Amino acid sequence: MTYWNEKAALVTGGSAGLGKAIARSLVSAGARVALVARDASNLRSAADELGGAARGVVSIPADVTREDDVARMAERAGSELGTIDGPLFHGAGRSDRGEALATPVSRFDELWRINFVAAVLCAQALAPALRAARGHLVLIGSLASKSASRHLGAYPAAKFALAAFAQQMRLEHDARELHTLLVCPGPLARVDAGSRYDARAVGLPDSARRPGGGVKLKGLDPERLAARILDACRDRRAELIVPGRARMLFALSQLSPAWGDWFVRRMT
């Protein structure tokens, strides 16, 4: 029997990528999981892939940037799985490409809502149940939550806000009652890495099309990362930064922004 056995978890962005990998790890560990995403068809496919109702997996189509959708999501998750007494994993998010001054304010608002506001809405909706169950709030940030990079458009500003929210949650809630984990991973290994942002990267250097805007890091395996996230969550850690050596950059940037900027330019 594992720590996650029979716990009820909710994963936003659960139909693909890291969200689906986290859901798969939870199901394998005996948890019941509600998958949440906007595309109902992709969501059903993901739920079926993970075993469907027979394995305690339900799919809940919702746009987590909308307060009314989040309220319905929380109500349905409760009715189908019971109290969400395990983790809330907020994996919904979107990256970007572009130069900051050329990025329309509407794009900043769009990424702000999916990468940050959605996390706040979900946390507010489910925090009472999580707190009562001594559960976990897991926020999937990015290395861009700690250090900006060139040509990522509206993405870093939204992810920085997520890091601030995670710290507020840690300061306001005893981790033994409501635990908050901020995950800051580098780029994930994907089939379409290097081409998925072609349309957004027109007019930018070729490096901007690559994962992380050209950061010199190997793509992370989502399944291995998911296992590390569950371990960090169970241990009630405050942060998980992958790769760990990125902490050196973050510390350097705090000591000297000029040195940090120099290091970012060297690494991208």
- The residues assigned a catalytic role are 155
**Structure tokens of 245?**
């050596």
- Cα separation, 68 vs 2, whole angstroms: 35
Contacts of 219 (CB under 8 A, 6+ apart): 186, 187, 188, 189, 190, 193, 211
β-pair type (87-90, 239-242)? unpaired
Q: Where are the beta strands (DSSP E) in the chain?
A: 8-12, 32-37, 57-61, 87-90, 136-140, 179-185, 239-242
β-pair type (57-61, 136-140)? unpaired
Peptide bond between residue 243 and the one before it cis (omega within 30 degrees of 0): yes
**Structure tokens of 28?**
């394998």
φ and ψ at residue 51, rounded to 5 degrees = 115, -10
